Structure 1
Amino acid sequence: MYQEERLIGVIQFLKEKRRISIDQMCDMFDISRDTARRDLVKLEERKAIVRTRGGAILPRTQDAIKDYSHRLNTVSYEKQQIGSKAASFIRPGDKIILDTSTTVQACANQIPASEVTVITNSIHQAEILSNVENVSIQLLGGYLQKEHQFLYGASVIERLKNYHVNKAFIGVVGISEQGLTIAHEEDGMVKRNMMKQAEQVIVLADHTKFGRTEFFSFAVLADVDVIITDRLPGGDFQSLLKDFDVDLIVTEEEGTDPWT
């Protein structure tokens, strides 16, 4: 087999399995370890892979998280529906936490003008709610993540410890049997501490987030009380949520019980 054929085979394998080892390459193509390493060097030179100890993975640019300003302009109808349902959980007098995600932003856009106290580390959420009558905003100060417009760091986490809230609304990049995951560790550390300060944790996740695992894990399913989504996930995942006593609300199937 020619090298180019092997390189194509490696990329196809990575798209399906996400990572490949040198031993797997040797078995797949009946080649030596030195040949496998040379193939990986060639792919790395083309920026098609990232070499790891003993193998390779696809570069993160293959599944890059879009910058926040772009995502703000592409909030889908499904996320708007999730946000609307989430906003319906908020009662006058509630004290709530909103994280930085665009799905939680869809909730912020639909919070009614009532006596609500909002704690957030998101500049965008604070800006949206600054125009809503009777909503009090506590913006957590810290280091500014410029690309995604959120505040993070030890000062944010320390200040969070002073608050006790009724509900925390949390977005994710991935939700799976491994729990809740996000692309940025600093964002995940803040989310983790937001959840600790809430009586009820409500996760907002459209159907594309199920079965996906991102870089940083910030919570397990046992930490979640409610998940609001737009489509019913697969049966295995429904069973997993039921095992952890997580209530599932599906906007696509309003008026139905997802556990029946």
Structure 2
Amino acid sequence: MYQEERLVEIVDYINEHRRISVDQICELFHVSRDTARRDLVKLENKRAIVRTRGGAISPETDPEIRNYRHRLHTVSAEKREIGKRAAALLQEGETVILDTSTTVQACADQIEDTEITVITNSIHQAEILSNKDHVRIHLLGGQLHKEHGFLYGTSTIDKLNQYHVNKAFIGVVGVSEQGLTIGHEEDGMVKRKMMEQAKRVIVLADHTKIGVTEFFQFATLGDIDVIITDRMPDRKFQELLEINQVDLLVTEEEKDIWS
């Protein structure tokens, strides 16, 4: 990878996660610490980032995660592979909950037009699924988060109490020994209730989410059944999943088998 390509990806990562460390740059892009530091110096000179001790943060004064409408246009190939694998787990006649994340959106994109029932609090997921004639959609009510396009609040959680589903597909900003975390507490409270109402909880998380801990913890590793990711995580994280009896599906590994 050329430096300019790497710089673009570093900025994209910071835009989504608000920060990046030198160690994360080394791991994500397979470069030395000196190279990672030079990249950050170059980006700071361009005023694209603000360097901190051990890494960098976004230069934006507002620390909010970038809005959902922007993220819809930056769904990566890795997320699409994860979404494809998740959609393949659905069977005709099942009921499923989809949350608001863009990785779960990649799943919604690839759900077959078959007799299933979907409950969601995302206006984006509902719009995608509305083009599938045989998919029944229950859009949860509540207060609309305009920036990110999801419904939340006590009325959303109360409505979820009425549903009992086969599977829940949940996205995260971080998954680590601290559990499942996200930037918005109101979104996290809804995700927690979604998980409680499902027989089987499936977390969709690309490799950049593994080992990351965000602001609000909404579940522990012991609360989930399956995690789907695009790259094999390190041994320490695999051991955490084994301890918590979480099944691991890796799309990169499956792709290698069939290529």
The SS at the match of 2:218 is: strand
Q: Quote how far apart the aligned CAs of 1:118 are.
A: 0.2
Residue aligning to 2:117: 117
Runs of 4+, deviation exceeding 4 Å = 14-17, 58-64
What is the one-letter code of the residue matched to 1:192? R
d(CA) in 2 for partners of 1:82, 1:106: 8
Matched, 1:165 2:194: no
The SS at the match of 1:141 is: coil
d(CA) in 2 for partners of 1:15, 1:94: 42
Q: Show CA shifts across 1:45-104 (max 9, x none).
A: xxx79xxxxxxxx78959752210110000000000000000000000000000000000
Please give the residue correspondences for 1:13-162 in structure 2 after superposition, counting only pairs within 5 Å.
Answer: 61=60, 65-162=65-162
RMSD: 2.4
d(CA) in 1 for partners of 2:68, 2:86: 21
Matched, 1:247 2:247: yes
Go from structure 1 to structure 2 and tell me whether the alpha carbon gap of 1:215 and 1:60 turns closer, same or farther (over 3 Å shift).
Answer: farther
Gap runs ≥5 in structure 1: 1-13, 18-47, 50-57
The SS at the match of 2:66 is: coil
Gap runs ≥5 in structure 2: 1-19, 24-49, 52-56
Q: Show CA shifts across 1:122-177 (max 9, x none).
A: 00000000110210000000000000000000000000000000000000000000
What is the one-letter code of the residue matched to 1:107? C
d(CA) in 1 for partners of 2:59, 2:140: 30
What is the one-letter code of the residue matched to 2:138? Q
The SS at the match of 1:254 is: helix
Q: Quote how far apart the aligned CAs of 1:255 are.
A: 7.5
Please give the residue correspondences for 1:220-239 in structure 2 after superposition, counting only pairs within 5 Å.
Answer: 220-239=220-239
d(CA) in 1 for partners of 2:131, 2:207: 31
The SS at the match of 1:97 is: strand
Q: Quote how far apart the aligned CAs of 1:218 are.
A: 0.2
The SS at the match of 2:93 is: coil
Go from structure 1 to structure 2 and tell me whether the alpha carbon gap of 1:117 and 1:193 turns closer, same or farther (over 3 Å shift).
Answer: same
What is the one-letter code of the residue matched to 2:163? Y
What is the one-letter code of the residue matched to 2:166? N
Q: Quote how far apart the aligned CAs of 1:248 are.
A: 0.2
d(CA) in 1 for partners of 2:208, 2:83: 16
Aligned length in residues: 208
d(CA) in 2 for partners of 1:124, 1:235: 36
d(CA) in 2 for partners of 1:255, 1:100: 26
d(CA) in 2 for partners of 1:79, 1:152: 24
Q: TM-score normalized by structure 1?
A: 0.75
Q: Show CA shifts across 1:194-246 (max 9, x none).
A: 00000000000000001101110000000010000000001000011011010
d(CA) in 1 for partners of 2:230, 2:70: 22
Q: TM-score normalized by structure 2?
A: 0.76
Residue aligning to 2:32: none
